[in-house]
Structure 1
C-alpha cells in the first residue's frame, strides 16, 4: 500500500529521503529574465502575468 505525506513532518522526512539520494527537493518557481518570467523546465520566456508555461505546460 502506498502512502502520501500528510503534513510538514512527513514531508520533511520524505524530502530528506530524496535529498539523501541526490534528488532536488526545493520548491521550483519561475526564474526572472529582465522583465519576463522564464520557465525553469524549458527556458521559455513569458509575460510577468503568466501562470503556466505555454511552451511545455509547466506550472509552479
Structure 2
C-alpha cells in the first residue's frame, strides 16, 4: 500500500520509470547554442516558443 510520503503522481512516475518510460516534462534540448526540438530535432533560435518544423510546444 502507498505511504503518505509519496503522492499519486510520484508513484505513477516510479511505475513508468521501472518499465523504461521517461517521466520528465518535455522541454527544448540544446545543440550548437540553439534550441533543438525533442520530437523532430529541428534547430531554432533561443527565442523560439514553438517548433516551426513539427509544431511541438513545451
TM-score, normalising length: structure 2: 0.75
Larger Rg: 2
Query: Partner of 1:31 in structure 2?
Result: 29
Query: Which whole-Å CA distance do the structure 2 matches of 1:19 and 1:34 have between them?
Result: 30
Task: Give RMSD over aligned pairs.
Answer: 1.6
> How many equivalent pairs are there?
53
Query: Partner of 2:20 in structure 1?
Result: 22
SS of equivalent to 2:9: helix
What 5-or-longer segments of structure 2 have no aligned partner? Answer: 1-5
